[in-house]
Structure 1
Amino acid sequence: MTLATVEQVAARLGRVIDVQEQPRVQAFIDDVSAMVRDYCGTDFQFHRDQAVPLEPTPDLSIHLPYWARPVAGISSVRWDDGTAVDGWVYRQGSLWRSEGWRHAVQPLASVVVTASYGYPAVPGTVTAAVCAEVIRWLAVQPGVERERVGDLEVTYGATAPTQGLSPATREALRRYRRSVISRDVWRAGHAL
């Protein structure tokens, strides 16, 4: 799934993208979309009533993985043997339960959450970042290594520089990026 369209890029360029240029623009959209999904750790799609397996823990909270957020709703929480889990509350990306998250009979039983999660539509910030990156890539001519406007200086290299996400795009996507916090380092809000 691409995170922008040729028409959205054209609207931001302020011109029609001709038929000969469309395959190149679409290829850039595909490439940038893949890089954004990898960078953010999410596919920006909506998933309805999907099973999300979670490892058991003696803690009072169990965290839903980043890829299963934002959560639109949770329809069930069960142990992997199908038994319903009772007494849970969902808050800020975690399920809380006063008894902890270990099965009384099978302590290694997994928790299976059936949830709807993700994005019903690609967020506007993501689409804007993808379009801006595609336009930036279109502005770089193959083989151009460096340009200077004053006294017009162009330096050509053997190959074009590797295309990747710019610092501005990375900054724009920061709120959608997976946060990495080790559970071994952080427990119940206190550093060990």
Structure 2
Amino acid sequence: MADLATVEDVEARLGRDLTEEEAARAPSLLADASALVREYTGRDFEAVADDVIVLRPVGVLLRLPQRPVTAVNSVAAVAPDGTATAVMSGWSFDGVDKIDLTYATYSADFASDAWRDRCQPDTYQVDYDHGDATIPAIVVKVVCDMVLRTLLSPSMTPGMVAERIGAYNYQLQQGAGATGARVVMDDQDEKALKRYGPRRAGTIQVEAG
């Protein structure tokens, strides 16, 4: 999975090219920051076609885990043996992230009581398209901010803060502040990502396709 920002994005915000040492660290920091953002939001921020997942509904609703959803291609009931050939019709999609099974019916080939009895427990295979054509600008910003805080930390020791004025350097404090050797998400990052997360409880994803 690609990082949510690039070295070029970091350099654009920094206003200069990375030094050799910074360039060596940047790829790992970008990967870590991207992973933290995806974990916090529960979103991939990549366009994916024909993603097949198996979900268990809450009531009659299936909540799709990735957004934005661009298309729901099919819904099929899953039998205990794991097969999902009972394609369904009559379900409705709310245009955001929920599929309503209230009026869903099996195709004619699977309309018998015997087949319906086989389709327990209550799980469904969904084929859908989702993701952003381009990574949202605020997500790129947050990832770059996380990387730059770490990359420009004056010490590899987490929490060491210092300041440079002209040719003089001095330590201000050791404690909160610079993130040192590791990437972390702070309150401002979470606030910036509020519209995308955190991951909501709801439909259970049984297995990834």
Q: TM-score range by the shorter chain?
A: 0.7 to 0.9
Where do 1:117-136 residues align within 5 Å? 117-136=130-149
Give runs of aligned pairs for residues 87-106 of structure 1, distance below 5 A. 87-91=90-94, 92-99=96-103, 105-106=116-117
8 A Cα contact 1:56 1:108, kept in partner:
no
**Aligned with 2:32: secondary structure?**
helix
Change (3 A) 1:139 1:18: closer
Alignment of 1:131-142 (within 5 A): 131-142=144-155
Name the aligned partner's letter for residue 46 of structure 2: Q
Q: Tell which has more relative contact order, 1 or 2 (C-alpha 8 A, sep 6+).
A: 2
Contact 2:3 2:30 in 1 (8 A): yes
Quick one: distance in 2 between partners of 1:156 and 1:108?
56
Residue matched to 2:76: 78
> How far apart, in 1, do the equivalents of 2:93 and 2:162 lie?
53
Structure 2 stretches lacking a partner, 5+ long: 79-83, 165-169, 204-209
Distance 1:69 1:101, change over 3 A: farther
1:31 and 2:49 aligned: no
1:52-108 Cα offsets, whole Å, 9 max, x none, are 212256x342222x2x32211011111124122111110031111334699962342
TM-superposed deviation, 1:182: 5.3
Unpaired runs of at least 5, structure 1: 184-192
Contact map agreement 1:60 1:101 (CA 8 A) in 2: no
Distance in 2 (alpha carbons) for counterparts of 1:178 and 1:34: 14
- Select the residue among 168, 173, 176 that pairs with 1:155: 173
Q: What letter corresponds to residue 141 of structure 1 in structure 2?
A: P
1:93-124 CA-partner distances (Å, limit 9, x unpaired): 11113346999623425211110112232211
Conserved? CA contact 2:57–2:63, under 8 Å = no
Percent of aligned pairs with the same residue?
Answer: 27
CA root-mean-square deviation: 3.1
Q: Which of residues 167, 171, 176 is equivalent to 2:191? A: 171
1:21 partner SS: helix
Q: Report deviation, 1:160.
A: 4.5
The CA distance in 2 between the partners of 1:145 and 1:26, in whole Å, is 23
